[in-house]
Every structure is written in structure tokens, then in C-alpha cells.
Structure 1
Amino acid sequence: MASERALKIRIAASVAALMALSACVPPAASSPRVLVLCALAAAIPAWTLRRALSRLTLRQSTPLFREVGPVGLLTPLRGGGSPDGAASDPEGTDPQALTPLPAGNAEAALTPDRRALLDAAQSLEARLEHAPIALFSIERLSGPGAVTPVNASARRMLAPGRARDPRQLMDLLAAQPTARRALVSFDTERGPERALASVAALTVEGAGQRLAALMPVESELEAEAMNAWRQLVHVLTHEIMNSLTPVASLSRTARDLLAEVQADLAPDVSGDLGTALDAIARRAASLVEFVASYRSLSTVPQARPERVHLGELFARLSMLMAPQWEVRRGSAEFSVEPASLDVMVDPGQLEQALINLLKNAAEATADLPHPQVRVHARLSRGGRLRIDVADNGPGVPDDMLAHIFTPFFSTKRQGRGIGLAMVRHLAHANGGMVRYAKPVGGGARFVVTF
């Protein structure tokens, strides 16, 4: 009896803890880290509640709930018997009373306490199932262990179209230390993706296990990086232009003044002054042009999406870019699968992003006798549009992969680091993303997904 009372106290404490945590969820909805902590904190009382209910049911020799229907609806059983009605009632209860109640009469058979427990359990189950964080259960407190998805977000993470190698992702989670958050990276159909992982250890009925929470943050990190770079470029270009404008103006004024007094100066002095002022004017004009090219990163107009037929867009790109490759004894191929494929984007911005990728491919294959580039659009697993731009150039060195989309960074001697940064900006502006995928056979492949 005392053990049963302890189980009931444990159930009540778990329900109270879950209610307290649920009250903290709405204010923390805008903070992914707090949501992860709330989910991890809720897991322990949830498992405790589940185990306590199971043990209490066994002690009373009467299952409190049973599953009926395809969605696992929990309904109560009447009387003190077992689910098959074989147990006897010491007071001579009618055996018919030991059969399961129809689902429609479930609520009438529940006491207020059990109804509250049932509501809390179903509410917790629904919240965990639809939590925006992927939750995984890992056997054992440390080391390798079987990893099982707990909710819908976790199952989607392992479904086709997301993680390229689900087993690798599960091994990565099992290798994470407990009680510490870490930024992990795993391969997806769209390229490498970063996620925030956190693992908590718990013991249920003497068995140790871990609960892992995984929240993808690649898009958010890229968006924040893009905003930071855009603001930096805006400030730098503004300040530089403010300084260059009077320099260019003063150099022109000085040349005019020099022309007026040139007759009074020695020829060599006049020539030196003219050369110096001309050099200042040319450098100022060059810097103005240079800064203006970077200003384009911070002044991209807002996307105006419309339905774009990719076959027609690729036909225009082929007429514009293919002749340049043919002159170099190369080839540029464009294909769409299926031919009727279309997408809701800003056509001008998508076209500009692909042109930048094609120019990047042309520069990467400049030294090849027969350069090749292939642009292919198709639907990937998961129903997402995928556009591949692949060339047969040398590819990107591994130590530079993390920087190729960063403004001002370039692997070319005369590069300014604008092209790929602009591609990423245009892709994000239209609800997509761009990744670099290293092909097995060499070359470079950029993947744009929407």
C-alpha cells in the first residue's frame, strides 16, 4: 500500500512538473536553445510518469488504459480484471463487467483523478510528438547504443530527403557527451547541414538511457551571417564613398588650377604635378567602381516571386552562356527533369544566381582544353527542387570550403569575393539555399534548393 502511495505521489509530481514546463514554452518560443532545454527537462518527468503509470497498473492487476484503433486511442477497462477478463473479483463482480468498455463510454468510467492523468498523458504525448525539435532515445548511459526516433521531427530527420546517411547521423548522436550542447554537422540531400545537439542522461526503472535533442540551425546561421555581412558592407561602402568623393573632387580641382599656372612653372615640376594628380584621380575612380561592386550586396531589391517555367529559363541561359563555352572548345548543357517543372521565385534573381555560378565555373575551367559545365534541375527526395551546376574543373580545396560563400573571400588572384556571396544572398531571398557538394569523380558542384 505504501509503495502504491509512493507511485501516486510520483505521478502527481511528474504531472505538476510537466504543467510548470508547459507554461514556460510560449515565452521561449522565439529561442531555440531554451526550447531545447525545455524539451530535455520535460523528458525526465514524462518518462517517470509513463513508468509510474505502468507499475501502478500492474500492482492493481487492472490495466488503466488499452489501445484501440489505428492511432492508439487510450481507453479504460472496467472492473478489476485483466484485459482478457480472466481475473476474478473477490466480491463477486459480474464477469461481463470485466470486459473492455467501448471507447465512447471511456470517459464515464474514469474517476476524476484518472481522467486528469489521462488528459495529462495525452497532452504530453501530443506535445512531444509535434515538438519542433527532433528527439531521439539512446540506449545505455554512454558509448554506442541503439538510437530510436521519439517524435515526428526525428522521424522526418531520418526520412528520405533529409539525412543522406541516417546511420551516420545516429552514430553521431550516440557519440555526443551528456549535459553539454554542441554544434554538429551531418550530410543531407542538400549538402552539409549544421544542427545544435544536446544529450541528457536518465535512469528509468534501473536502466540507464539518454535522450538527445537535435535542432537544425543551418538556415538560421546562414541568414544571420548574411545580415551581418550585409550591414558591414553597407557601413564600409558608405564610409569609403564619403571619403573618396572629396578626394576625387579635389584632384579635379587641383588639375584645373595646375592648368592655369602651368606656364609659370618649370616644365619638369609641371609634368610631375600633372602625373601625380592624374594618378590620384584614376585611383579614386577605380576605388569608387570597386566599392560600388560591393555595395550591390547590400542593395539587392526584395524578391518578387512568380511562377517560373524552368525549361524556358534554361533556354534563355543556354542562348546567353553556351556560345562562350563553345568558343573555348567546351560545352554547356542545360536539362530539366521533368520538362514541365516550375518554381515560385523571382525570375531575374534566380537567373542572376545561375549566371554567377556559370561565370564561376568558367573561371575555374579557364586552363582546361575542353571545359564542361552541366546545369540540371530535378525534384529531389522530399519533393524539393534541386538545381545542380557542375563543372570539370579542379574543385574547391577542402581547407577553403567553409569560406567560399563569405564576402571578400576569393581563391582567384583578381577575384573580389562577390559572386558566390551574391548567389547565397539571392537564394536566401527566394526561400532557398545553396551548398557546395564535392563530386566523387572530381570537379565542383553547387546545389541550389528551393
Structure 2
Amino acid sequence: MASETRLKAGALLSLAGIAVLAFGAGVVHDSPRLAVLCLLATLPLVASLWRCIDRLGALRRPAPPSAPGLPIEQQALLDNALALEARLEHTPVALFRIDGPGGDGQVAPLNGNARKLVAPGRASDPADLYRQLAAQPGERRALIDFETERGTERALLAVSSLTLQGRAQRLAALMPVESELEAEALHAWRQLVHVLTHEIMNSLTPVASLSHTAYGLLGEFRGALPEDVGLDLSTALDAIRRRADSLVDFVASYRSLSNVPPARPERLRLDALFERVAALVGPGWRARGGAVEFSVEPASLELMADPGQLEQALINLLKNAFEATAGNEGKAGHAWVAARLVRGGRLRIEVSDDGPGVPDGLAAHIFTPFFTTKKQGGGIGLAMVRHLVHENGGTVRHARSVGRGARFVLTF
């Protein structure tokens, strides 16, 4: 410190000497203006030299003594607590704290997944979800339903009771399983359809072939049979032949459900996709006096998906809408397809119509293979839609419409 002070004092004396010499030069030449200019010229030199001396002193100054650390035991406890907090934050389930022994209490999220679940874009009514959690007794496992932006979501709930600092609390772990359950159910149906169609086709194909052969042979030998016998045989073989052909076509349509090729996603613009779908389905609607309206917001919206599979899913939904609106009283029928970004950065495509809609009691079964509400339907259309959407990483739900008609929501 003393050496630094002496260094600064010496520098000041040197600079003062330079300033005096500069001023004296102006006086000798009898020029006050020159003296002032010489003094001003020395000022930058003074400032620069002073900064250098100050930095040199800072480098030579000893570093302040570091604060004493925690004892080893306390530091280990702190490290363990921080590690436990990090693991809790990234636990792959949503954890909630429920104050109170049971039946009621305040609910608060404990980790990142819980906060995401009640953030905009997931649970559409977080207060309702909190009420469901608060009503759960301790030591229980159950499946609960709650509404999200993508539709009704099912989740596996496990509740445990504990006491912390003399206060009764419950810890609720919530794991949404709707997508996993749908994927497993779809896989099971595909396997079942594959087995059934394989076995049925193995038995049905020879029946159809033999019925055609027998019907052809009957025409050659009809003259050798009594007229009434030949007529009865012809009628019976013709009925067998027609029904066998119809069943072959029916089973073949279900075989397509289990033989869908894997998706080949690519970046596609939704406005271009909608233009292709409009060109395919629009003429039928206009011929009946109706219309299909397409909208994309924003217009540059893009999606990674298989263009052919997503196009087929939309065509199936619009085909259902076309058939559902055919009986509209005094109306030609309209359908709407809208794509937009919703909360949480998700892409949503809504397909709706102004038909009679889906009865409430049947809404839970409409995606099940073989289930249909039509007199002439095979129950394959919506099952295929769900499979195609799942193949491209999305989900499809039936959503209740504000007015009349059906509304289907595809979320990616």
C-alpha cells in the first residue's frame, strides 16, 4: 500500500513538472495562447498515466480473504437437498400437495409437470381438477377424467397421506394415460381385426369360388333337371354367390385397417393440403347445394405429417359429415375445416358440420371398429381416422358442439 502511494505521488510530481515546463515554454515565447494550449495538451497524458498507475496498484493489491465455507456435514446435507429438489422437479409425473387430512384442502403443484398440466394449453379448467384432487381420500389409486384443450383426458391417480411438522397432508401423483390407452386399444383392435379377417378370408374365399363354379355348372345342366328343381337351385346358388362376394368385400375393407403402412412424415403447408381436399370433396357438396369451408390461421401454418394419410383422415371425416347432413330439413348442409394454433403451441384442426350430431350415449363408442350408427355402414371410417392420426403423432377427439352438428378435433 505504501509503495503504491509513493508511486502515485511520484507520478503526480512528474506530471506537474511537465505542465510547468509546458507553461514556461509559452511564457518564454511570450504567447499566453500557446501556454494554455500546452496545458490542455498535457491533460490526456495525465489521465492516461493515472489510470495505468491505478490498475497497477489493483494488480499488486492482495485478494480479500474468502468467506469460510460450511462444515462438511452441513454442505453434504445442502447438496443432497438440492439434488432431491432437482429430481423432484423433473419427475415424469405431476405431483401435487393437498393440505388437510382428506375430503378438502388447498391444492398446489410441486414440480414442473404439475405446473405444465394446469398451465394454459393443457387442463381447460384447473379449478375443477383441483377440486377432484382435493376430494380424493388418502391411500388410493384410481382413474380420473378431466377436460383438456384436446378433449377429455384420463389419468392414473395415486394419493398418499403423510404428516410434516405436525400438519396432515396428502401427496397426489397424477400421470395422464389417455394417449397410451388409446394407442394400446388401437393396437389390440388391429391385432384382432388382422386375425379375424385372416381366418374369415381363409374360409370364405373357397366358398365364394365354389358358389360361382356351381352356379355356372347349373346353367349347363339345367335342362336335365325338373324345372322347379332347377329354379330353386339357381335361386339358392345365386344368393350364396352374391352374399359370398359381399362378405369378401366387407372383410377386405377391415383388412385395410390392419395393413396401413407406417407414416412417412414431411413438412407440408396446411393451406395446400386443404386445397387438395377441397378439390376432391367440394364438387359433391356443391352439387347438393351445400358447401365446405376451409380456413388456416395463420396462412403459413405447417405440420410434419404424412400428406396422404392426413388427407385420407380429413376425407373420411368430411364423408361422414356429408352423409350426416343429407337429411337436413330444408338445408343443403355445410361443413367447416379450420386449422389454427392454440394455447401451448399446439396445432388444432377442427372438422364440424350442421347435421344432427352424435347422440351423447354413443359418443364414447364411435371410434371402435365394427361400431356404426348407419344402416349401411361397416364401422371402419372413424376407426381408420383415429389410426391415421395416431400414426402421425396426433390425437382425435369428438367434442361437443355449441350448437347442432358434430365436431371432431385433431391435435398435433
TM-score interval, normalised by the smaller of the two chains? 0.7 to 0.9
Match of 1:308 among 268, 272, 285: 268
Give the equivalent residue in structure 2 for 1:167.
127
Give the equivalent residue in structure 2 for 1:183.
143
Greater CA deviation, 185-194 or 249-258? 249-258
Match of 2:360 among 398, 405, 423: 398
State the distance in 2 between where 1:427 and 1:311 align. 18
- Tell me whether 1:381 sits opposite 2:343 in the alignment: yes
Q: Deviations over 1:301-330 (max 9, x none)?
A: 110001111111111111221222222222
1:268 aligned partner, one-letter code = D
State the distance in 2 between where 1:250 and 1:393 align. 45
State the distance in 1 between where 2:367 and 2:345 align. 26
Please state how far the C-alpha of 1:364 moved relative to its aligned partner: 1.5
Match of 2:153 among 189, 193, 199: 193
Query: CA distance change for structure 1 residues 327 and 214 in 2, over 3 Å: closer, same or farther?
Result: same
Give the equivalent residue in structure 1 for 2:400.
438
Give the equivalent residue in structure 1 for 2:332.
370
Greater CA deviation, 246-255 or 223-232? 246-255
1:414 aligned partner, one-letter code = Q
Please state how far the C-alpha of 1:105 moved relative to its aligned partner: 6.5
1:383 aligned partner, one-letter code = G
Give the equivalent residue in structure 1 for 2:249.
289
Please state how far the C-alpha of 1:239 moved relative to its aligned partner: 0.6
- Tell me whether 1:116 sits opposite 2:76 in the alignment: yes
State the distance in 1 between where 2:214 and 2:72 align. 93
State the distance in 1 between where 2:203 and 2:145 align. 43
**Matched ranges for 1:188-227 at <5 A:** 188-227=148-187
Question: TM-score scaled by structure 2?
Answer: 0.82
> Structure 1 vs Structure 2: percent identity of aligned residues?
67
Query: CA distance change for structure 1 residues 373 and 174 in 2, over 3 Å: closer, same or farther?
Result: same
State the distance in 1 between where 2:77 and 2:157 align. 31
**Matched ranges for 1:26-105 at <5 A:** none
SS at structure 2 position matched to 1:160 = coil
SS at structure 1 position matched to 2:267 = strand
State the distance in 1 between where 2:96 and 2:288 align. 53
Query: CA distance change for structure 1 residues 266 and 385 in 2, over 3 Å: closer, same or farther?
Result: same
Please state how far the C-alpha of 1:363 moved relative to its aligned partner: 1.5
1:448 aligned partner, one-letter code = L
Cα pair 2:103 2:137 within 8 Å, conserved: no
Give the equivalent residue in structure 1 for 2:103.
143
Match of 1:274 among 224, 230, 234: 234
Question: TM-score scaled by structure 1?
Answer: 0.75
Q: How many corresponding residue pairs?
A: 347
1:435 aligned partner, one-letter code = R
State the distance in 1 between where 2:219 and 2:277 align. 51
In structure 2, the gaps of 5 or more residues are 1-63
In structure 1, the gaps of 5 or more residues are 1-101
Give the equivalent residue in structure 2 for 1:263.
223
Cα pair 2:326 2:332 within 8 Å, conserved: no
Give the equivalent residue in structure 2 for 1:410.
372
1:156 aligned partner, one-letter code = K
1:398 aligned partner, one-letter code = D
State the distance in 2 between where 1:214 and 1:423 align. 29
Alignment RMSD: 1.6
SS at structure 1 position matched to 2:357 = coil
Please state how far the C-alpha of 1:399 moved relative to its aligned partner: 1.1
Cα pair 2:265 2:307 within 8 Å, conserved: yes
Which of the pair has more CA radius of gyration?
A: 2
Cα pair 2:104 2:134 within 8 Å, conserved: yes
State the distance in 1 between where 2:356 and 2:137 align. 38
1:339 aligned partner, one-letter code = A
- Tell me whether 1:237 sits opposite 2:183 in the alignment: no
